[in-house]
A and B are shown apart, each in its own frame.
Chain A
């Protein structure tokens, strides 16, 4: 199908919107980052982020292009349970709230989730964890880069390579200029844009068509979508829940925010973000359920959201969707670039190559790493290696196996390194086997279950008395001077 002819908006409108937002984001990145000369200012916004920006950045980062585009698709395929299942992704944010408070308290000078695993469990666990974390981080980056190109192409007809390049250049540009302040500042604006756009489209759908007509049309044309006992959707629900918890518990995207928030903010910010995020897939999914009532021709399920929006609001609706999708992509891409770069700099560059590196050198290394990651993502996304996008689905087993070692390691003094290593390694292995033997919907479930049993049994059989003060590591400035 010719994407230029099938696109909802013209390429001219698409380019205009991209240009306007590019200028705004890059200017704000420069403006907010111009005084961030210190390492902590640049990579963690000075560790003083308040509740408003904290809540918005946690929420906006978790709203990926998947939330705005896949939630309607899931509702269109799996019905009510698809909406509710996706909504359970918020459980990860809610459960991370107490962890964020404890992370900030135990590690006031920490930089990465890798720091925690190294200090808590030692080098073997650290290496296993780094492999899981970096594969996941790079997989997510590439999948977001590719999603950017594909979505911009589907919505505006702009060629995949151009759309993907534009969104990557913009995100790398403002993250490079402004560091973490640019990330969380733009995240706030992006959160407001996503939420407002969603409410406008949903309210207009209800006003124009009404619940009764939407329900009647779905009952007549797609009754299976209203089935509350749809087995595939219930399986998806549990797997999605555990996948989300694993993603958030281990990823430096969420740990770096815990380090960056003020000490009393972490719990409140993550908890509020979870409450605000939970209804988004339901509202976005509901928009898709309006498709049968509107007689919208849906050639591909993943385009149902934009198609219904443009049917309700015409060009304005399609422009709103493009802005929402662009905001969702940017808020995730910038966070990934920032969090993955500091993970590479702190855990690989500093801890393996330059242990005496001064804060200024680490700041410079972070900037080069952001640029390098952007280039790497562009190359892999340009090649459109579909298999790499599939890696992200595959990582469900890996990330879910980190849930217990992370949570138990933060709260239980007696959890030991051998148990943590075995939990991550065997949990991942069991998850992969389940992925191939049974299906994708049990990979995270199996990985988390095996990991849980190993952590519980090993903690019970071989308890260790860990000293929490070990986690309070010195700042790099003090370490390099020593």
Chain B
């Protein structure tokens, strides 16, 4: 059973979207923690 182009593009696109969201989410969480005095 071979991976089709559609399978590959969906797999990589989902992975890429999560990877792109991750740094933004981390920065948002950092600002929120900092404002609440919960950074460390």
- Chain A contact-residue range equals 35 or more
Q: Which residues of B contact A46 (CB under 8 A)?
A: 40
Chain A contact surface mostly: helix
What residues of chain B lie closer than 8 Å to A53, measured between beta carbons?
A: 30, 33, 39-40
Instruction: Provide the residues of chain B in CB contact with A202, threshold 8 Å.
Output: 12, 16, 19
Collect the chain B residues with CB atoms within 8 Å of residue A216's CB.
5
* Cα distance A216–B22 in the bound complex, in angstroms: 30
DSSP class of B's interface residues: helix, strand, loop or mixed?
Answer: helix
Q: Which of A49, A188, A211 has the most CB of B within 10 A?
A: A211
A227: B residues at CB distance < 8 A: 1-3
A51 and B16 contact, CB distance less than 8 A: no
Docked pose: A228 CA to B11 CA in angstroms: 13
Measured between beta carbons, the chain A residues less than 8 angstroms from B3 are 79-80, 226-228
Chain B 1-20 per-residue mask, 1 if CB under 8 angstroms from chain A, else 0: 11111001101101110111
Determine whether the beta carbon of B12 is less than 8 Å from that of A211: yes
Of A80, A214, A283, the contact of B19 (CB 8 Å cutoff): A283
B: number of interface residues (CB 8 Å): 27
A196 lies within 8 A of chain B by Cβ: yes
In order of increasing CB-CB distance, the 3 nearest A-B pairs are A279-B15, A52-B29, A50-B33
In the assembled complex, 21 residue pairs joining A and B whose CB atoms fall closer than 8 Å, in A order, are A48-B40, A49-B40, A50-B29, A51-B29, A53-B33, A192-B27, A199-B16, A199-B19, A199-B20, A202-B19, A206-B16, A211-B12, A212-B5, A215-B8, A223-B2, A228-B2, A229-B1, A276-B22, A278-B15, A283-B16, A286-B8
Chain A interface (Cβ within 8 Å of chain B)? 45-46, 48-53, 55-56, 59, 79-80, 87, 181, 184, 188, 191-192, 195-196, 198-199, 202-203, 206, 211-212, 214-216, 219, 223, 226-229, 262, 272, 275-276, 278-280, 282-283, 286, 289
Chain B residues engaging chain A, CB cutoff 8 angstroms: 1-5, 8-9, 11-12, 14-16, 18-20, 22-23, 25-27, 29-30, 32-33, 38-40
